[in-house]
Amino acid sequence: MQLKIFTVDAFTGKPFSGNQAAVVPLSQNIDDATMQKIATEMNLSETSFLAPLNADGPDAWTTCSQFSLRWFTPVCEIVLCGHATLAAAHVIFQNLGNTNNQLEFQTLSGTLIARKENHLLLLDFPENDPLSLTSEEEQTLSPLVEAVLGEEKPRARTVAISRTLKYLMVQLDDGCTRHDLENIRPDSRAMERLHDGSKVKAVIVCVKGRPGDREDAQEGVEKEYDVLSRFFAPWYGVDEDPVTGSAHTVLGPFWSRRLGHKELSCYQCSPRGGKVVVRTRGDGRVDIIGQAVTVITGHLNL
């Protein structure tokens, strides 16, 4: 059996930045174990598997607007992934020649919508508002926060949790800078020893953007960001994820309230780095907006 496969850099307009995802359009059914083996072989933070719904034949990929979509890390299937959804929509539109302006994906997180917005792609995702920790959670998770912040230990202003995604969000004090955020060196193995993944599957560390936090100045473009973040998920087999769409379903509602903006310009400060625009809508949904670029096109031989 031979299947097409693409690798896409998401939340970026240029190759070798943003977050990598593999995308596999399924021309034939394969079992879950094989999907997991492919994701493990690719060894990227996520691999997407797509199939048209209610359509078949040679024109299905170009005319269908509804698809099943699943995401696998190198170690397990997950319930929500932003950058791999962006990558999947990009492949359908750009590589497979789909003629629709909007796509619907049936996923473990319900129906997700992707649509074209000028040269960008917009993802309609569920909002995952972070909530305050209980006193028991504060006590239990405090050592984990210390392991994430590392030896430098910049001061945390707020620690909250999205219980739906099991994402712990650590907001650094406003006195902290992008330099402080980028200098954090989490001990991933200590994180795994301190917590079994039952309550927390990933940790977001974020800080308010400052006037000096700019990107692409060397290209003559100066862009200030409202929110800067990093994302760590050793329980998913991903010590640090380069750019995480699902994390921005948590960051969006939190920072929208705090800053009083419905639209946020965000930058994830991993070594690869990537840009995400988040719009909070007030209806329990958020729009996650970004670019993507195909880097590799090939085939899987099974």
Residues identified as active-site: 46
- Going by C-beta distance under 8 Å and a sequence separation of 6 or more, which residues neighbour residue 64? 52, 53, 54, 55, 98, 100
Residue 145 pairs in a beta bridge with none
d(CA 287, CA 281): 8
Strands annotated E in the chain: 2-10, 19-25, 46-52, 66-72, 77-78, 102-107, 110-117, 120-126, 131-132, 156-162, 167-172, 202-208, 214-215, 223-224, 227-232, 263-268, 274-280, 285-290, 292-301
**DSSP label of 224:** E
**DSSP label of 298:** E
d(CA 160, CA 254): 10
End-to-end alpha carbon distance in the chain: 5
Contact 97, 112 (CB under 8 A): no
- Going by C-beta distance under 8 Å and a sequence separation of 6 or more, which residues neighbour residue 150? 184, 185, 186, 187
